[in-house]
Amino acid sequence: MLRRHNASVNFSVVGNHEVLICDGLLCLCSLYEQSASVVVNPATRWHRSFPLSNVQHLIIEKNNKSEVAYPLPRLGFGKDKVTGTYKPVYLYNSFEFKLDNVTTCEVFDFRTNAWRYVVPSSPYRILGHYEPVYLDGSLYYLTKEETEVLPFSFPAETSFEVKLLSLDLHTETFQVICKAPFVQPHSSDLYSITMCILDDRLCVSEKNWPNQEIWSFDGANKTWTVMCSIDLTESVSLFEERSFARSSIAQPSIALVDKNKLLLRGNDYFHTLFIYDLHTKSFDLLFKPPKPVGPVYYFESLFHV
């Protein structure tokens, strides 16, 4: 259920699901159920459903067979700035699904009400642990290119190079933008990294307890600068499940308010929302849902597909 004051829109999303946001539109899809995906505007109560992608059918088939060794591709959702068309996108590594090529890309076309493949797809395998982010007509991903197996490591560890990858939603072409040298090249815990959009700029967070650094990308110069470094020690008291604050999982950034207040979403079951003041370096609890139901934070609009 999505709620705005005393108005609500009901739809069926059972079990694990994803919610993507663009221009105040929420795109929801279920990972294991046959129920259709839906795009909804909570402000106007407008909504439209669309069918499952090919990879969703593959996941449901594997789940029904009780298979466990397969990835869960993350949905992307953004807008073609030239035509104004909104596009749900699945980009995933092909090998795990016994498909050809390095990756496979599916885009949903609301005009034909059908999914179609984008060819060629990304030439690099992607880090599929998190959803891509949308900015200014493109979806952004991080790629993982393995370089070598580290000697004398047990269990065996692989060194890899991480790059920033974009998908232009108008031309539907991929482009490797630059390397991301700040990501630990030998790190085995990829959940310590998360992408976000802050102040209309692409940002990446990297958590290494007790600190979390947020890097901002300058698209014109293709350079990264440290936006801030957060000491998460003081945030522990905001969580009932305190192990989450100390875990290696990065706290996703939601928005930058008044240039000096950072909204962060906790990695606990409740997705607790708290504020970090960049000047005073202090934390304040903003909102904690009464139940672990997966709250969604968005800015209202009057857009529709």
Name the token pair of 117. 């493949």
| 180 shares its domain with 209 | no
Do residues 173 and 211 share a domain? no
Do residues 122 and 141 make contact, with C-beta atoms less than 8 angstroms apart? yes
Q: What average pLDDT does the segment 275-287 reach?
A: 85
Domain closes at, from 186, 206, 224: 186
Residue owning tokens 């065996």: 156
pLDDT at 248 over 60: no
| Listed residues 186, 204, 231: the one ending a domain | 186
Looking at the fold, whether 200 and 300 belong to one and the same domain comes out as yes
Q: Are 41 and 47 in contact (CB under 8 A)?
A: yes
Tell me: do 228 and 155 sit in the same domain: no
The pLDDT score that the predictor gives to residue 149 is 59
Rounded to 5 degrees, φ, ψ at 207 are -105, 130
Do 226 and 239 lie in a common domain? yes
Q: How far is residue 189 from each of residues 3, 193, 219, 225, measured CA to CA in Å? A: 35, 8, 27, 23
State the amino acid at position 286 in one-letter form: L
Contact 134, 79 (CB under 8 A): yes
Task: Report the number of distinct structural domains present in the chain.
Answer: 2
pLDDT surpassing 50 at residue 300: yes
**CA–CA separation, 289 and 266 (whole Å):** 11
Please check whether residues 282 and 207 belong to one and the same domain. Answer: yes
DSSP of 122-155, one letter per residue?
A: -SS-B-TTS--EEETTEEEEEEEEEEEEPTT-SS
Query: In this structure, are residues 28 and 22 in contact, taking their beta carbons and an 8 Å threshold?
Result: no
Instruction: Record the pTM.
Output: 0.85
Tokens of 223: 């350079």
Percent of the chain at pLDDT exceeding 90 = 30
Query: Do both 168 and 82 map to the same domain?
Result: yes
- Give the DSSP H or E segment for 41: strand 37-41
For 175, the token pair is 């482009």
Instruction: Categorize the per-residue pLDDT at 126 as very low, low, confident or very high, splitting at 50, 70 and 90.
Output: very high
Give Dmax over CA atoms of the chain in angstroms. 61
Per-residue pLDDT reduced to its tens digit, 150-208: 555 555 566 678 889 999 999 999 999 988 866 665 455 666 788 889 888 999 888 77
Same domain assignment for residues 198 and 129: no
- Examine the domain organization and report whether 50 and 73 are in the same domain: yes
Tokens (6 digits) for 102: 């390095």
Contact call for residues 273 and 264 (beta carbons, < 8 A):
yes
pLDDT in tens, 18-29: 888 899 899 988
Residue 208's nearest CA partner among 196, 225, 193 is 193
The whole-number pLDDT of residue 193 equals 81
Query: Are 243 and 262 within one domain?
Result: yes
| 208 and 70 in a common domain | no
Please, are residues 72 and 93 in contact by the beta-carbon 8 Å criterion?
Answer: no
Does the pLDDT of residue 144 top 90, yes or no?
no
pLDDT at 237: 64
Check whether residue 141 and residue 268 sit in a common domain. no
Of 186, 217, 240, the position where a domain reaches its end is: 186
- For position 2, what pLDDT does the model report? 38
Q: Which of 2-6, 109-113, 151-155, 301-305 has the lowest average pLDDT?
A: 2-6
Owning domain of residue 281: 189-305
Model confidence over 32-59: pLDDT tens digits? 777 778 999 988 888 999 999 999 999 9
| pLDDT at residue 4 greater than cutoff 70 | no
- Tell me, what DSSP letter sits at residue 52? P
User: Is 277 within 8 Å of 261 (Cβ atoms)?
Assistant: yes
